[in-house]
Amino acid sequence: MDDQSGPGPLVTSRLGYLLKHAHREMDRLSNEALAPLGIDARELGILLVIASHEPGSQQQVAERLGIDRTSMVAFVDSLESKGLLTRHPHPDDRRRNIVELTDAGHHTTRTASEVTQRAEATLLAALTTDQAQQLRGALQRILAPPG
């Protein structure tokens, strides 16, 4: 306790620092909330992408998430072994694995969405409803493609 713990205001006022640590905290809260469901935040992202689109190949899911197909294999392996999704070959192109949520996968996705929303509320507890809404809106505007 003999150093004033923390990097100091020159660092903590930087946007990169703030975003990094806010994300780290959000990730920690999400994974804590998801642990009882047997998945982590990364896996929930994959489930949500699958739930959001027509059934597609592993590669399509990977592209939408911005990860490469070789990494996708292990994620699909894991989610399949948990019974949350199924692989089956595309009838017209047997090179492709169509990945689809199982009933359990749909259920877990819904439950996971609820618990992560509560985790978000925990992170934002220090803000008013308006401030929270403005934060979300500002981040969305930042990331929207310029045009």
Distance, CA of 81 to CA of 129 (rounded, Å): 40
Contact by Cβ (8 Å): 142, 67: no
Distance, CA of 87 to CA of 127 (rounded, Å): 43
Q: Which residue type, as a one-letter code, is found at position 81?
A: S
Q: Does residue 63 belong to the site contacting its own copies (CB under 8 A)?
A: yes
CB of 99 to DNA, least distance (A): 7
Residues 88-127 that bind its own copies (CB under 8 A): 113, 116, 120, 123-127
104 interface partner picked from its own copies, DNA, none, CB below 5 to 8 A per type: none
76 interface partner picked from DNA, its own copies, none, CB below 5 to 8 A per type: DNA
Q: Which of residues 40, 45, 100, 102 is near its own copies by CB under 8 A?
A: 45
| Binding-residue total with its own copies (CB under 8 A) | 57
Closer Cβ to its own copies, 51 or 98, answer by number: 51
Alpha helix (H) residue ranges in 101-143: 103-123, 129-143
Q: Does residue 57 belong to the site contacting DNA (CB under 7 A)?
A: yes
Q: Does residue 67 belong to the site contacting its own copies (CB under 8 A)?
A: no
What are the tokens at 21? 């640590």
CB of 129 to DNA, least distance (A): 33
Burial 91-120, CB ≥16 within 10 A → b, else e: eeeeebbbbebeeebbebbeebeebbeebb
Contact by Cβ (8 Å): 123, 116: no
Q: Does residue 139 belong to the site contacting its own copies (CB under 8 A)?
A: yes
List residues binding DNA (CB under 7 A): 57-59, 62, 67-74, 76, 87, 92-97
